[in-house]
Structure 1
């Protein structure tokens, strides 16, 4: 008899809260030891497919990837081995932030820095 973890790739359930429908999604979080100063990186599987690979910030990276696919609502990050819930995030809110590590007070959520002209660097502006 196979051991089950309580996780299935069913369609997200709908919750109605304060008159709004909210979609609940599940993804599996898999740690990868890279060693050295970096420690762990994380890969995220959603609907059985790789969504994010080797991320330092898997929750916000997964939220940005899902939002780019038009998926909104809440995302429950499950442990890759045990299937136990680890974190729950609001996809729309998490897509707009990054996690930064600060010496004075540990991890913080911040808005990503913006470039003055909002454009990618051109090949001419790169320093050789």
Structure 2
């Protein structure tokens, strides 16, 4: 394995609702890349989306999501407001970095908070679940 710095992978929009949100899903699927939309084992509804044009950083991807959300109909917006989880999940390959800092601009954080969303971070380790090292993704 080679030394590989931590790097941004993508941002997912994760939604969770006690109700099906078909109108919202249909509209988001037309504006974003849907990864899944399904009822969970406990009866809630879950969905995950990626931005259509993945950018090189989280602020641009989150900005693309916020722009898509601004285009939603009143019905879809109401279904979005009923979601109990509205989260931008920012992913990083963490590889061999000793320390890594990723700053979010204040204006973006303000927009995210005003829209009623949260931001979470997912770190993808340099090891597979069985403990064996992952290869550099550019060489896999």
Would you call these one fold, judging by a TM-score over 0.5?
Answer: no
Give the shorter-chain TM-score range: under 0.3
Computing the radius of gyration over CA atoms, which structure comes out larger, 1 or 2?
1
State the TM-score, normalizing by the size of structure 1: 0.25
TM-score by length of 2: 0.23
**Greater share of strand residues, 1 or 2?**
1
User: RCO higher in 1 or 2 (8 Å CA, sep ≥ 6)?
Assistant: 2
